[in-house]
Chains A and B, each alone.
Chain A
Amino acid sequence: MGHMIMSIVILVFGIVFFANSFGFPELQGGALPDAGVWPRIIAALLIVCSVLALIDDIKKWKKSREIPDSQKPKKEDAEGYDPKGRVRMIGSVIILGLYSLVGLRYMGFVSSTLVVIPAIMLWLGERKWLRIVLLDVIMTVLCVFLFCKFMLIPLPRGMGIFRNISLLFY
């Protein structure tokens, strides 16, 4: 079912891009094709390919329905399956999302990285505190040294107090 949803999402993506391509301004004079021509062709091809992929997925889904439940491979038997896996994955997405969308912007690199490294390690199951603290400090210092001091690339400083903290380091 997931495969079919994915194919439908791609099909919708193709339709949106195809429809949108008609809204681009036309060029006067006709020396060059309009800005919408190329994306329109590609989006049309995408619609065709995603429909064919969807047909393939429907065929497979129908075939899998013919197999009795007892003979179907169980999710639990799949290699590497972990019942807690999905929660762990979603948590990782949330942590990285908070880091990329909020943490770096408002807290700056140093403060947000010092928080995010232990957060992701603990979330993934790490329980050795010494290891967590060491990696946290080493990784943050290493990045500041490598990017700010050595490569002279300014990392995000954050706002308010976090900006003042970052000024202590770079």
Chain B
Amino acid sequence: MNGYKLAFQFLIEHPEAILFTLLGLLIGLTFGALPGLTGTAGVAIFIPLTYTLDPTIGVVMLAALYVGSMFGGNITAILFNTPGAPEAATITFDGYPMAQKGKGGEALGFSVGAATIGGIFSTIILALLSPPLAKVALKFAAPEYFALAFMGISVIASLDTKSFWKSMSIGLIGLLLAAVGLDPLSASSRYTFGVTGLAAGIGFMPVIIGMFAISEVFSRAETKNLGVVKFGDEINKVKVKMPALKEWFKYKMSLIRGSLIGVVIGILPGIGATTASFVAYSQEVQFAKDKESFGTGRVEGVIAPSTANTAAAGGAFVPLLSLGIPGSSTAAVIIGGMMIHGIRPGPMMMTQQPKMVYTIFLTMFLANIFMLIFGIMAVKIFGAALKIDYTVMAPIIIVLCVVGVFALSNSMFDVIIMFVSGIVGYFFRKFGYPTAPLVIGLVLGTIAEENLRRGYSMYHGDLVGMFTRPITAVLMVLSIASLVYGVYNSLKKEKPKKTE
């Protein structure tokens, strides 16, 4: 309870934290609603704006942005059959048919209510699970920390990508880039190729911003009408209808199923909200008596994926805060944002930064309440953003990214790294290489290497002894299982093509 006391005290002393929570939520809602701009890009673009904020307020704002982006995509999915983000794709199945029948306002009401319930449920699970998990993790030494980082890296195998080998290649590039610069243990120079700027290593922020935001500008520039979906004024005409309490009771099982599926999938590293919403939708179909009516405007088809989306976002924070493992690509970017403020997420955070951890719990709870109050209203206000031309958006993104990266350490070299990462990211997108594994590799690479070498030294070179420590062994087995499953899945995807 001491943590909550500290958090309440912090919120009383810094009421602006609540304002930044709201601001993060509104930005997230807008980024989620804009097709092509994801919550991950939103977090990457807005990290620089948190530099001079109190670290707790900065992290809280990013967490709220993540929560908001989960719901933002549902609005355009329901009204325009265009999911603003991949995780909102399932909402189009029944949400859009409801809108076509003139029940768009009702669908939005169910969606925002369900998203709030899913978000609150996952925040409660987060607050209950993280402290005991971190307590166990406090007993960790170098071998366990290596195993944890390895587990985080093995997430790459479970990411939903077109090619397992491409995904792994990119993750390994991230690990190699993390090795660039001075070796932290021996102080010898590695992979600098005579470039002075590389001696300090490759910062993950310029890479993250280049990969997620700048490459997006390049990719958009190549597409017709800059890949922008234009929306009419319908968004201002829809009147949101919040369902009565008895309506919610009618769909209680959909809410429970969606919340549980979302939280469990969110906690599992690397799977994410998109899978959660698809699994939740398919479960609704499985449980329904008249399965064929799905896709024609069933309320359950809106409730379950909406609940699962936001529940997955909260779930992803459990491994992030307690173990330092990203539960999704957005969570990996948030880890980058935390590290900018000198905070290393993981077991020590719970004891070293209790104020921050418990403030995150409280503000995520608040963010979900705000979503219910401001969710629809905000998108109406931010509806204008849906009509902004990309010719206006692109320079805003470019200038914010360049200034943000420069401000990080007053380094022009970082701006060059961002620019190069943007070009590389463009080619990755073009040829089906995912960008998230590179970030995961870059963020976790140093932790993995340092702890492997420390563990090796601890055991005087006895790797068997090092990896047979009980927790290390369990974590390593889980990680290897995840990698094997990734290979198996990749081969399974190939099989039908061979039989054709």
Contacts and interface: CB of A to CB of B under 8 A. Distances in A.
Interface of A: 2-3, 6-7, 10, 13-14, 17, 20-21, 24-25, 27, 30-36, 38-39, 42-43, 45-46, 49-50, 52-53, 56, 80-82, 85-86, 88-89, 91-93, 96-97, 99-101, 104-105, 109, 113, 116-117, 120-121, 124-126, 131, 135, 139-140, 143, 146-147, 150-156
B169 A25 contact: no
A30 B186 CA distance: 12
Contacts of B217: 92, 96
Q: Is the interface of B mostly helix, strand, loop or mixed?
A: helix
Interface stretch (B10-18, B172-180, B366-374): B172-180
B427 A46 contact: no
Interface string B455-485: 0110011000000000000000000000000
Contacts of A10: 169, 173
Contact of B176 (A6, A17, A155): A17
Given A39-B191, A153-B52, A85 B224 contact: yes
Contact of A105 (B166, B172, B175, B412): B412
A25 B186 contact: yes
Given A80-B224, A139-B399, A152 B412 contact: no
A158 to B, nearest CB: 11
A24 B188 contact: yes
A88 B406 contact: no
Contacts of A120: 394-395, 398
Contacts of B247: none
Q: Is the interface of A mostly helix, strand, loop or mixed?
A: helix
Contact of A100 (B221, B419, B494): B419
A27 B224 CA distance: 56
B54 interface: no
Contacts, number: 179
Contact of B222 (A30, A82, A99, A155): A82
B412 A116 contact: no
Interface string B287-310: 000000000000000000000000
Interface of B: 49, 51-52, 163, 165-166, 168-169, 172-173, 175-176, 179, 183, 185-186, 188, 190-191, 214, 217-219, 221-227, 389-392, 394-396, 398-400, 402-403, 406-407, 410, 412, 415-416, 418-419, 422-423, 426-427, 430-433, 449, 452-453, 456-457, 460-461, 494
Given A2-B430, A104-B415, A125 B391 contact: yes
Contact of B391 (A7, A27, A126): A126
Given A24-B183, A35-B190, 6 more contacts: A38-B453, A45-B172, A46-B173, A120-B394, A124-B221, A146-B49
A6 B392 contact: no
B222 A88 contact: yes
A92 to B, nearest CB: 4
Contacts of A13: 173
A121 B390 CA distance: 9
A152 B403 contact: no
A33 B214 contact: no
A77 to B, nearest CB: 12
B186 A32 contact: yes
